[in-house]
């Protein structure tokens, strides 16, 4: 039996020797590599924090103390040390465990964390809450109180919310530790002045002479007088590693490091000393993303969250990677289309927020470096920058995951839509996203953007329609526009798409070209790729019903002429969308019909139900919510004869309530 299998709780780490901990680190890496190579998942970020996670759990008791993650995709070692080894084989599935911190799984997970930048602020909130509840650690009055630690990494420190958190953390008058996992990477190479600052820090002399500069340091650091007490509590090693000109100290946080994030004895010693400092501080830890797997170290971007892969080693050819093949993705199709637009129109510019590979912008960055920008994990800034470019007459395309658009909604509202500026939003990972689960589903972009006057919202069903949508957006100058598409391979069954015409749907079943001559039993209006599953559903039904299938194309404006024509002929309408049933495309159809004074009783809406959909394959998730062929076939029957056929009810996939902490059952965290 290996050491990892013997871990009953993180407290077992305190009985292990350093050589045993190093052996344990090797076992954790092997477990992660084996699992991710077979199923896919976040690989490089987790390999980089193995020793750091072991050291933190060795020094702190996070069943009692507080551990807040920032960018939750670095939590696999944490899960393996906190009683979830038996579920790790089913990582990122509904039968197993989430790939992100998940309170329903363990008392060691405090927040469901999938977006970057939030850890410091939530940690400040818990630190203040513990103070108000008289539960916070103080060295003299309450040595058994709760300590607070937040682990931030993958360049999320540049996020605006992280800056706001730091600004408030420096005002705390209690223990508060920010562990900065500085791996020199985001999901790809980090961008901006902050990244350049960390590059300089990493190559500078790590251990400064504290005794020479401490007095001068305390004169200039906000709250420096308070830090004198912290200085007296430090060991000599920590004193020697204080960074005297650290950027963080301008926020009032004592800063130590950078130290080697793979040196367990050093990590344990520094964390042990930091544990009892009753002032806010940053421990700057330098790690290697992908540590322990040479291919991941060499290409951390490719192995940030890879598909399943195999490693073949040859004495002459060296290491060769084989990734599971799949079809052409919407992301790849978008990337090629974007390059084509930029090649044809010198006014087209693009930006992404730390996702050049994930959004397909990487080709544009290489081909048009003067018109392509990676802002780092700064969606709000990126969208405002795009608005500024639009104001100068350029044609900006902002490539962003649907789930991360939420972080820039204020900018979509204030600086783009309100100004009437034609910023183009290209929303990757729209709808259900598979293994990343609830933290990453793109389920509300239509609902939030539809509220903005003059916004134009489109969706693609395949590569051809994606190209047509982007060409429409290139020439649309009436204000904010968007196109959404899923984390999926493209399907080319419908052939070349005609040009987009504002507010007009496309008929996919040409036999119903003339409604007055050939009335269908049901009309399916699909917004986006549910049109593909709807075509499969129609094939399943065979001759049972005559079904007209439409690619709706627009959620705003709705094709009112089509809706009127169908309802006036008493044709039942079934709306489909890979989006929340609340506020989405179906709601827009209902509102349009009601606004025209039409009978809405024969409109049936179908989309993502009003509960959280947890991690699993996208195929499984579509089945769970009834957006697969079988589920849509049932909905077509229901739309035709609602009294004879029951409406589809989504499978219950809601998570159990968070487990209460044994240390603080009354607070439930």
Active site residues: 289, 379, 407
Q: Where are the alpha helices (DSSP H) in 182-320?
A: 193-203, 210-220, 224-233, 236-240, 264-275, 294-298
User: What gap in Å lies between CA 589 and CA 525, rounded to an integer?
Assistant: 9
Angle at 121 between CA 119 and CA 126, to 5 degrees: 90
Q: How many CB atoms lie within 10 A of CB 215?
A: 10
Token output for 23: 């052996």
- Which residue do the tokens 């070349």 mark? 496
Distance between alpha carbon 462 and the CA centroid of its chain, in Å? 24
Residue 204, CA distances (Å) to 200, 300, 402, 474, 635 in order: 6, 23, 39, 46, 64
Structure tokens at 351: 């930006």
Distance CA 576, CA 533 (A): 10
d(CA 373, CA 369): 7
DSSP letters of 456-507? EEEE-SSHHHHHHHHHHHHH--SS-EEEE--SSB---TT-SPPPP-TT--EE
With a CB cutoff of 8 Å and minimum separation 6, the contacts of 315 are none
Token pair, residue 185, equals 């990477």
Interior angle at CA 333, CA 329 and CA 335, nearest 5: 115
Question: For 289-442, where are the E strands, in sequence order?
Answer: 309-314, 318-323, 348-352, 372-374, 395-401, 424-428
State how far the Cα of 481 lies from the Cα of 312, in Å rounded to an integer. Answer: 46
Residue ranges of the alpha helices (H) in 2-113?
A: 3-6, 18-39, 44-47, 50-59, 76-81
Maximal CA-CA distance, the chain: 92
- What does the alpha-carbon distance between residue 274 and residue 278 come to, in Å, rounded to a whole number? 9
Q: 39-77 burial by CB neighbour count: b if 16+ within 10 A, else e?
A: bbbbbbbbbbbbbbbbbbbbbbbbbbbbbbbbbbbbbbb
DSSP readout, 99-160?
A: SS--TTT-TT--S---SSS-HHHHHHHHHHHHHHTT-B-BTTTBTTSB-EEEEEETTGGGSH
CA angle at residue 411 from 464 to 401, to 5 degrees? Answer: 40
CA distance readout (Å), 48 to 25, 182, 536: 11, 10, 44
Contact 164, 117 (CB under 8 A): no
Query: How many C-beta atoms lie closer than 10 Å to residue 539's C-beta?
Result: 10
SS3 for 248-287 is HHHHCCEEEEEEECCCHHHHHHHHHHHHCCCCEEEEEEEC
In angstroms, the CA 334 to CA 330 distance is: 6
Question: How many other β-carbons are positioned within 10 Å of the β-carbon of residue 399?
Answer: 26
Helix, strand, or coil here: 575? strand
């Amino acid at each position: 039996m290996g050491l990892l299998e013997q871990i009953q709780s993180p407290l077992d780490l305190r009985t292990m020797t350093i050589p045993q901990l190093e052996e344990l680190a090797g076992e954790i890496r092997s477990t992660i590599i084996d699992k991710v190579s077979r199923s896919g998942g976040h690989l490089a970020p987790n390999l980089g924090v193995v020793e750091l996670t072991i050291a933190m759990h060795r020094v702190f008791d996070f069943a009692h103390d507080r551990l807040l993650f920032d960018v939750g995709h670095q939590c696999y070692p944490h899960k393996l040390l906190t009683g979830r080894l038996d579920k790790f084989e089913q990582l990122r599935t509904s039968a197993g465990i989430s790939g992100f911190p998940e309170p329903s799984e363990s008392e060691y997970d405090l927040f469901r964390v999938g977006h970057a930048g939030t850890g410091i602020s939530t940690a400040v909130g818990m630190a203040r809450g513990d103070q108000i509840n008289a539960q916070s650690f103080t060295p003299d009055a309450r040595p058994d109180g709760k300590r607070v630690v937040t682990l931030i990494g993958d360049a999320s420190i540049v996020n605006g919310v992280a800056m706001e958190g730091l600004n408030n953390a420096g005002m705390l008058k209690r223990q508060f530790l920010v562990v900065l996992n500085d791996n020199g990477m985001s999901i790809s190479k980090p961008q901006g002045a902050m990244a350049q600052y960390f590059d300089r820090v990493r190559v500078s002399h790590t251990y400064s002479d504290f005794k020479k500069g401490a007095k001068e340091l305390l004169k200039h650091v906000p709250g420096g007088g308070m830090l004198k007490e912290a200085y007296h509590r430090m060991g000599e090693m920590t004193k020697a590693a204080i960074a005297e000109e650290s950027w963080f100290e301008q926020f009032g946080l004592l800063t130590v490091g950078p130290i080697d994030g793979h040196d367990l004895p050093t990590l344990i010693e520094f964390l042990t000393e930091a544990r009892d400092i009753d002032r806010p501080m940053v421990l700057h830890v330098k790690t290697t993303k992908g540590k322990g797997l040479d291919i991941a170290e060499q290409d951390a971007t490719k192995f940030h969250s890879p598909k399943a892969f195999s490693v073949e080693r040859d004495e002459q050819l060296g290491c060769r990677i084989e990734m599971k093949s799949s079809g052409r993705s919407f992301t790849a199709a978008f990337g090629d289309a974007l390059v084509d637009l930029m090649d044809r129109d010198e006014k087209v510019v693009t930006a992404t927020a730390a996702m050049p590979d994930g959004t397909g912008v990487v080709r544009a960055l290489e081909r048009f470096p003067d018109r392509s920008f990676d802002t780092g994990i700064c969606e709000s800034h990126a969208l405002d920058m795009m608005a500024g470019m639009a104001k100068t007459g350029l044609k900006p395309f902002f490539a962003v995951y649907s789930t991360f658009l939420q972080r820039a909604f204020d900018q979509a509202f204030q600086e783009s839509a309100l100004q009437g500026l034609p910023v183009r939003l290209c929303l990757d990972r729209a709808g259900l996203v598979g293994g990343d689960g609830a933290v990453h589903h793109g389920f509300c972009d239509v609902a939030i953007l539809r509220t903005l006057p003059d916004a134009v919202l489109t969706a693609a069903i395949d590569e051809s329609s994606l190209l047509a949508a982007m060409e429409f957006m290139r020439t649309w100058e009436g204000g904010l526009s968007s196109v959404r598409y899923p984390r999926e391979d493209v399907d080319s069954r419908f052939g070349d798409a005609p040009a987009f015409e504002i507010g007009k749907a496309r008929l996919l079943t040409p036999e119903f070209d003339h409604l007055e001559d050939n009335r269908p039993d049901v009309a399916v209006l699909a917004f986006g790729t549910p049109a593909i599953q709807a075509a499969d559903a129609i094939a399943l039904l065979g001759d049972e019903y005559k079904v007209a299938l439409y690619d709706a194309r627009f959620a705003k404006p709705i094709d009112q002429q089509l809706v009127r024509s169908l309802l006036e002929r008493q044709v039942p309408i079934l709306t489909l969308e890979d989006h929340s049933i609340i506020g989405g495309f179906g709601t827009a159809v209902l509102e349009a019909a009601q606004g025209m004074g039409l009978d809405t009783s024969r409109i049936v809406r179908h989309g993502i139900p009003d509960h959280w959909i947890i991690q699993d394959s996208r195929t499984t998730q579509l089945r769970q919510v009834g957006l697969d062929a079988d589920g849509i076939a049932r909905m077509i029957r229901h739309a035709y004869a609602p009294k004879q056929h029951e409406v589809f009810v989504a499978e219950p996939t809601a998570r159990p309530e968070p487990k209460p902490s044994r240390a603080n059952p009354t607070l439930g965290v």
